Amino acid sequence: MITLTQVTKVYQGARRPALHQVTATIEKGEFVFVVGEAGSGKSTLLKLVLKEVRPTLGTVTVNGRNLESLPRWKEPHFRRSIGYVPQRPLLIARHTVYENVAHALRVIGKTEAVCRRVVPEILELVGLGMKENRYPHELSAGEQQRVAVARSFANRPLVILADEPSSAVDPDTTIELMRLMDRINRTGTTLMVASTDAKLVSAMRRRVLEFEEGSLIRDQVRGVWRP
Ligand code: ADP
Ligand code: MG
């Protein structure tokens, strides 16, 4: 479902490649951790899959499509087919939890009737069924992150990319967040989660792609990670 073939990315003006000759295949329904120290290329990898960044060399395909051949006018539609959870949840402060999730559906043309049916289902899934009328500032950091996950999952994407989603939350919340990711993965959704949380990665025992200065140095099924 996602393949990277000999992908190198050199940002303009950079002294060394952010990613160097990376080759990996991620199958539909997999749960993959992308690990490595700060600056090792994790975010760049996720952005390549979103086509927010283009490879300097090599190819990236998503769902059998070489992203280089995806016309520019199709890019917004393509990006909306992928769920993206940023490092810090970017919620709309003046909107309730319900409205924040509904927004993700409205931008892809879903009707209010669909929102009224789907949003409560998704909020139930992330354990926020009781909080749909709260505002972001009335939620804990972990709850806000769950809203961000709910929003990324609202249109049932085939893939969710999460960039260090647990970096701003406490350990208990991290466990909750990962249980949620696990539940979403069990629905058949492919997950790529960038993380620097060695304890979490080691506890989950999922596939681990480890990067060091832009090179993929390890690809292990049910891996652990000790930086
Ligand atoms: P990570 O997410 O693992 O911290 P990144 O993918 O963000 O790593 O960064 C990998 C390398 O690329 C780092 O050296 C970083 O400074 C550099 N980099 C990231 N984004 C840019 C950019 N837009 N322009 C130039 N260099 C960048
Ligand atoms: Mg990063």
| Nearest atom, ligand 1, residue 211 CA | 3
> Do 192 and 151 belong to one domain?
no
d(CA 44, CA 159): 17
pLDDT at position 11 over 90: yes
Cβ–ligand 1 distance for 43 under 6 Å, the answer yes
Pick the last residue of a domain from 127, 156, 185.
Answer: 156
> Do 4 and 116 belong to one domain?
no
> Do 95 and 64 belong to one domain?
no
> Do 162 and 113 belong to one domain?
no
Residue of 95, 140, 108, 101 lying closest to 122 (CA atoms): 101
> Do 38 and 70 belong to one domain?
yes
| Nearest atom, ligand 1, residue 47 CA | 6
d(CA 91, CA 145): 9
pTM over 0.95: no
> Do 8 and 75 belong to one domain?
yes
Pick the last residue of a domain from 156, 185, 213.
Answer: 156
**Are 97 and 119 a contacting pair, CB within 8 Å?**
no
Tell the residue nearest (CA) to atom 15 of ligand 1: 39
Higher pLDDT, 91 or 174: 91
> Do 97 and 185 belong to one domain?
no
Each residue of 99-152: pLDDT tens digit?
A: 999 999 998 899 999 999 999 999 998 999 999 999 999 999 889 999 999 999
Residue 7 pLDDT grade (very low, low, confident, very high; cuts 50, 70, 90): very high
- Mutating to test ligand 1, I would choose from 10, 16, 37, 43 the residue with most ligand atoms within 8 A of its C-beta, which is 43
CA angle 154, 158, 161 (to 5 degrees): 80
Structural domain for 227, as ranges: 1-81+157-227
d(CA 43, CA 18): 10
Pick the last residue of a domain from 139, 156, 173.
Answer: 156
Residue 165 pLDDT grade (very low, low, confident, very high; cuts 50, 70, 90): confident
| Nearest atom, ligand 1, residue 194 CA | 2
> Do 167 and 215 belong to one domain?
yes
Alpha helices per DSSP H over the chain: 42-49, 75-80, 97-106, 112-125, 141-153, 171-186, 198-204
Q: How many angstroms does the Cα of residue 67 sit away from the middle of ligand 2?
A: 21
Q: How many angstroms does the Cα of residue 121 sit away from the middle of ligand 2?
A: 31
- Mutating to test ligand 1, I would choose from 44, 53, 164 the residue with most ligand atoms within 8 A of its C-beta, which is 44
Please tell me the total count of domains within the chain.
2
> Do 220 and 167 belong to one domain?
yes
Pairing of strands 19-26, 2-9: antiparallel
Cβ–ligand 1 distance for 15 under 6 Å, the answer no
> Do 62 and 134 belong to one domain?
no
